[in-house]
Structure 1
Amino acid sequence: MKRCLLLAWLLIQAVGASALKPSKVWIATPDAMGLTYQTVTLTTPDHVQLTSWVVEPAADVPDRHTTLVLAYGDAGNMSQWLHQTQALARSGYRVYLFDYRGFGHSADVALDPQRLYYHEFSNDLRTALNDARRRFPRNRTGIMAFSMGTIMGLEVAATSRCDFFISEGYVASPQRLVADQLQRRQRVVTLPAEAADYARLARRVNCPWLLVAGSADLNTPLADSVAVARVARRRQRRQVLSFEGGHLEGMSVLTNALYGDKYVWEVSRFLAASRE
């Protein structure tokens, strides 16, 4: 089962940020990875039901009293992120996974496969973040976002209470991704109207922000993460964690003894420093 999960995740990485490819079928549940969890049903402000998993820290490690709400990319569903979840849980983090509307076991809504993302996905992430904060009020609660999920992560981190923001494969310009699809693949990809205001959001993120980026990432280049860190104002704490690899290969590359252990160590170091 674990091998199947890893292969499914590698396939998702190979797709990269291109357009929506949701799957309604979970390939596993957290208990298949030895994780303790509960299933939670959420309702968004626009009355859409979402399904989420709250995965507890591993029993044999100290609880860091930190909740990471995971916003994944444009394909699959939350079940394909259990390896990352396991790496975080065994280091003492609580992980809050959820499926966007139209993905996994969340409400079955019509999604255009030529759309890069829907602005409503931000409502889904915000709903999950608010529920995580309500359930664990004494925890630090923030967002860990990947690829297309960084678009929603940026929107929510800029407009909601968020204790930290971790992004890998940060999308600096949805418009540039769309233009790249047309140029490289002769494929038309559309954007929601709200994308016109996206470029203004980064300056509004005031919580600590760790930008994880691969030196060989062609979809979301390392230079974009470096640029948004460099323009941070005095009180905006931002840091870039670079690795030698491609799009969303961070945990695979930053591994020593166990999958993603060095990656999670770097995350822990950043979160600890951001308290100072």
Structure 2
Amino acid sequence: MRSTTAFIIVFLSCFLVALSPKKTYKHTPHDFHMKHEKIMIPSTGGAQLSAWYFPSDLGDQLMIMSHDGVGNMGDYLERVRILVRYGFSVLIYDYRGYGASSDFKINKYQYVYKEFYDDFDAVYNYCEDRFHHELIAYGWGIGAGISVTRGYIKDDIAGIIADEPFVDFTTLKTQFKKINAVMTLPEGIENSDYNALNIVKKEPGKNLRGILYIHGSKNFLYTTEDMETLMNATSHDFKDLYQFDVASRMDNFTVNESEYAKQIYAFVLNL
């Protein structure tokens, strides 16, 4: 019985932090009757990234939306629809290996790939060149961590919304062992510019006006203290940490969609 229980714990721990790419879109904007434009964005190594752009006539902010590496962007259209309803234009994209983006071999037990950072850069560059909106980097899970590490030092990012970002990869390795998760990290990623805790101590981009961290109290990878460490290390003056007390890991949106959207809207309104 003990060995069975231990196996279940290990399996669940890995499942809850593993990458889970899907190439087929279960949902598309057409299913929600949403006005959108399909875009292909070139990234490093010849990769092409599939993206959907959702315009809004109600405001001048554009959300660059980076997901958590589970499924593909078609699984997150409800988030997009709510944000567009609040007056934000949205560009959501798939990393290489996901959806209609270029094929890329993914080991689901590797927590993140350095190439995903390149993909964020490619999307940012596209948005910077094409649109005249203020750019807001918004992501959850690994998408939040990438939004912080890349968006924090970009000159044309006005705000960052990071829902459960990774904090420090050295600490994360220890946590993987603690919860029996057989996970790996790219070589040399700790104590580098891929690490959120390193980046937020630097001088922010010249147009960054604020950063909002979102955390769920039942997150088993990062504690409230971890998030407070990240926020306190953040060199920018306008920063905040909002906690959902009944949320599980990376589930803050589905716990209370209305409150979640209101927090985002209030943050951007005060930038």
Relative to the length of structure 1, the TM-score reads 0.83
Counterpart amino acid of 2:149? E
1:223-234 pair list within 5 angstroms = 223-233=225-235
Equivalents in 1 of 2:268, 2:173: separation in Å? 33
Equivalent in the alignment of 2:4: none
Equivalent in the alignment of 1:152: 146
- 1:28 paired with 2:24, answer no
Equivalents in 1 of 2:38, 2:181: separation in Å? 41
Q: What SS does structure 2 have at the residue aligned with 1:264? A: helix
1:5-20 pair list within 5 angstroms = 15-16=15-16, 18-20=17-19
- 1:266 paired with 2:260, answer no
- 1:104 paired with 2:106, answer no
Counterpart amino acid of 2:47? V
How much does 1:173 deviate?
Answer: 1.8
- Shift in alpha-carbon separation, 1:213–1:205, aligned structure 2, 3 A: farther
How much does 1:42 deviate?
Answer: 0.7
1:71-110 pair list within 5 angstroms = 71-110=66-105
Equivalents in 2 of 1:19, 1:175: separation in Å? 18
Q: Is the 8 A contact 2:152 2:160 kept in 1?
A: no
Equivalents in 2 of 1:31, 1:205: separation in Å? 42
Q: What SS does structure 2 have at the residue aligned with 1:193? A: coil
- 1:40 paired with 2:34, answer no
- Shift in alpha-carbon separation, 1:203–1:55, aligned structure 2, 3 A: same
- Bigger Cα displacement from structure 2, 38-47 vs 181-190: 181-190
What do residues 96-142 of structure 1 show as CA deviations (whole Å, max 9, x unaligned)?
A: 110101111100012222311111111101111221222221x1112
- 1:132 paired with 2:122, answer no
What do residues 175-230 of structure 1 show as CA deviations (whole Å, max 9, x unaligned)?
A: 33333333323524233423331131121363210001112222232322222223
Q: Is the 8 A contact 1:19 1:117 kept in 2?
A: no
1:51-66 pair list within 5 angstroms = 51-57=50-56, 63-66=58-61
Q: What SS does structure 2 have at the residue aligned with 1:175? A: helix
Which residues of structure 1 form unaligned runs of 5+? 1-13, 255-259
Counterpart amino acid of 1:65? D
Identity of matched residues, %: 17
- 1:190 paired with 2:185, answer yes
Of residues 247, 250, 263 in structure 2, which corresponds to 1:248?
250
- Shift in alpha-carbon separation, 1:75–1:93, aligned structure 2, 3 A: same
Equivalents in 2 of 1:67, 1:191: separation in Å? 31
- Shift in alpha-carbon separation, 1:195–1:120, aligned structure 2, 3 A: farther
What do residues 133-159 of structure 1 show as CA deviations (whole Å, max 9, x unaligned)?
A: 22221x111210101112211221133
Counterpart amino acid of 1:200? N
Q: What SS does structure 1 have at the residue aligned with 2:45? A: coil
Equivalents in 1 of 2:135, 2:151: separation in Å? 11
Q: What SS does structure 1 have at the residue aligned with 2:51? A: strand
Equivalents in 1 of 2:200, 2:268: separation in Å? 19
Equivalents in 2 of 1:145, 1:262: separation in Å? 17
Equivalents in 2 of 1:178, 1:150: separation in Å? 18
Equivalents in 2 of 1:246, 1:169: separation in Å? 10
- Shift in alpha-carbon separation, 1:95–1:178, aligned structure 2, 3 A: same
How many residues matched? 249
Equivalents in 1 of 2:162, 2:70: separation in Å? 17
Q: Is the 8 A contact 2:65 2:93 kept in 1?
A: yes
